Amino acid sequence: MPNRLPLPFILLLCLLYILPGLFGHGPWKQDEPYIFSIVRHMLHTHDWIVPYDAGVPFMEKPPLYYWLGAILVHISHGILIMPDAVRLSSGVLTGTTLLFTGLSTRTAWGDGYGRLAVICLIASFGLLFESHIMITDNAMLSGYAVASYGFLRGRTHALSGGFWLGVGTGIGFLGKGLLVPGTLGVTAIVLLFFPAWRQRIWFRAMGIATLAALPFFLIWPTALWLRSHELFYTWFWLNNVGRFLGFSVPQLGAGNSAWFWPKTLPWFTWPLWPLALLTLWHNRHVSRPEIQFALTSFIVYLTVMQVSASARTAYGLPMLVSLTLLATPATTQLPARLNLAGDYLARLLFLPCVILSWLVWGIFQITHHAPQWHCLTRSLNPAFVLPMQPLPVILALLTSLAWIISWYWLPRLRARAVLSTAFGITTFWIMFATLWLPWIDNAKSYRDTFVAATHYVPAAYDCVSGENLGESTRPMFDYYFGLMHIRHDNIDNPTCHVRFIDETGTSPPNIPVNWQIVWHGSRPQDNKDIFWLIEKTGKNR
């Protein structure tokens, strides 16, 4: 049994990891704008069946994340601004993932390992950014973690294990679609080749899991089918089957390549994968059901990802749960030299990041402009003036001091390598979410750009038509302009005297006769999406 880390310490670390970055900024491209738009639509129309992105049905994912976002907006009304309340959904789901990954690992390896599993998952590089933005893949990840707990518990407790397996599978389905149920189903079939999984109690657990999952699989899809056969087809066939087989990828995007996952996994799953290999080596002569499940689930999921026609790093999040199950025992079994090396590697990796964060912040405060470093200003606005925010600065300072102080007692811990990585990644993220957040928000948010455009919209407009507006641009156009009469389907409507155009490249769009450009702009340092506001001349209205 490893040294038991105090539960208050684990909870504090989880809060310090989860909460920073969730608050204080607008919706960021790519996923946040359309998710935020869908939640706004649900709250305004009380339509909980069909997700709408700025008035257009958006059937890419089921609605669980949007439902949770709407609930949190309602609960936190008057406390949090709407984007922060919706983004809090990712915090709730990340907390759920950490909890059930810890429960799964404790079930597999015994007392004390659950808390270490939470540390391992926090230390994983792949979880950091995705867990702090609005993205439905967080619901998929939570469902997978809950289902993994059900898998392992179902071997000894059919009722509770089957219940959590069914609920987790259902959450994964309503969060993402068929990916989680499909991979878990294949995993369950493959596990039947091992005698430890061909037990009567396990078959009872599977039956209970099926019953527990049925409401998730039936209620919303049935309601969607009754609402619109066409929208059901778009969701089920194009966004599930089509994305996997590839026939809808040219239309929907997110294509895969043979080398995407081989190049992504080494950094995405660090430091889990070397620890997982060490656990497999230590147990190479032992047949353990928990290793069979963790390894099988990882291989099945990775195989599905590799053969799928669609790929994004967020799609691979559930693999972190399987690898954490494998990696956790090795955290206390590392040879002393490797433990020491892992500790100092984490310090050498994150210390320059922390120093750089403070250095850039200090230059801002002294010179009142950004450091003229091309590596930063090629994507961040060099003219931005970083405000002095006392509370974030105090939090960043306390975190930096706590991290340095931790170096003195880390050598006493058997899991010092993974703990040092978890502390370092949390410290780095707090630096990012406090000292740099206004500057990052200025570059990734549409707020400043679109608010500037609103000053050029004629006061007596009839409506504004959008041209070439994508799933992320369209809702932000709606949100920041604050316009209700927006058309996206018929740019030639004679009643619309203003058009807002999203054009790729720096060349102006083809302007129709009797129209004139009144404004153009883009997000800072973004030369791909240039926005143009044009107005019909008065004599042709």
Amino acid 146 reads V
Q: What is the pLDDT of residue 528?
A: 76
**For residue 30, with 0-12 CB atoms within 10 Å meaning exposed, 13-18 middle and 19 or more buried, which class applies?**
middle
CA distances from 191 to 127, 187, 537 (A): 27, 6, 70
Place of tokens 């920073």: 20
Q: What is the pLDDT of residue 484?
A: 47
Q: 151, 321 in Cβ contact below 8 A?
A: no
The set of residues, in sequence order, having a beta carbon less than 8 Å from that of 514 and lying 6+ positions away, is 536, 537, 539, 540
Distance CA(94)–CA(143), nearest Å, equals 11
Q: 311, 249 in Cβ contact below 8 A?
A: no
Q: Three-state SS string across 126-192, please?
A: HHCCHHHCCCCHHHHHHHHHHHHHHHHHCCCCHHHHHHHHHHHHHHHHHHHCCHHHHHHHHHHHHHC
CA dihedral 250, 254, 256, 260 (to 10 degrees): 150
Q: What is the pLDDT of residue 492?
A: 59
Q: What is the pLDDT of residue 505?
A: 72
Strand partners, 53: 56
Q: What is the pLDDT of residue 519?
A: 87
Question: How would you classify residue 199: left for phi > 0, otherwise alpha for psi between -120 and 50, otherwise beta?
Answer: beta
Q: 429, 20 in Cβ contact below 8 A?
A: yes
Strands 529-536 and 515-521, how do they pair? antiparallel
In eight-state DSSP terms, residue 28 is B
Distance CA(168)–CA(104), nearest Å, equals 12
Q: What is the pLDDT of residue 537?
A: 80
Residue 275, token pair as written in the block: 């620890």
Amino acid 200 reads R
Domain spans, the chain: 27-332, 336-444, 447-540
Strands 464-467 and 498-504, how do they pair? parallel
* CA neighbor of 62 nearest in space, from 184, 183, 228, 240: 240
Distance CA(255)–CA(60), nearest Å, equals 15
For residue 29, the SS3 value is coil
Q: 477, 486 in Cβ contact below 8 A?
A: yes
Taking residue 162's Cβ as centre, other Cβ atoms within 10 Å add up to 27
Q: What is the pLDDT of residue 201?
A: 95
CA dihedral 355, 357, 360, 365 (to 10 degrees): -110
Q: What is the pLDDT of residue 142?
A: 98
DSSP of 430-476, one letter per residue? HHHHHTSHHHHHHHHBSHHHHHHHHTTS-TT-S-EEEES--TTHHHH
- For each of the chain's 541 residues, which pLDDT tens digit applies? 566 788 999 999 999 999 999 999 989 988 899 999 999 999 999 999 999 988 889 999 999 999 999 999 999 998 999 999 999 999 999 999 999 999 999 999 999 899 999 999 999 999 999 999 999 999 999 999 999 999 999 999 999 999 999 999 999 999 999 999 999 999 999 999 999 999 999 999 999 999 999 999 999 999 999 999 999 999 999 989 988 888 777 777 677 888 999 999 999 999 999 999 999 999 988 889 999 999 999 999 999 999 998 889 999 999 999 999 999 999 988 888 999 999 999 999 999 999 999 999 999 999 888 888 888 888 888 888 888 889 999 999 999 999 999 998 888 888 899 999 999 999 999 999 999 999 999 888 888 888 888 788 777 666 777 777 777 777 887 787 765 445 555 455 666 788 888 877 777 788 888 888 888 888 877 777 788 888 888 655 5
Cα 172 from chain centroid (whole Å): 14
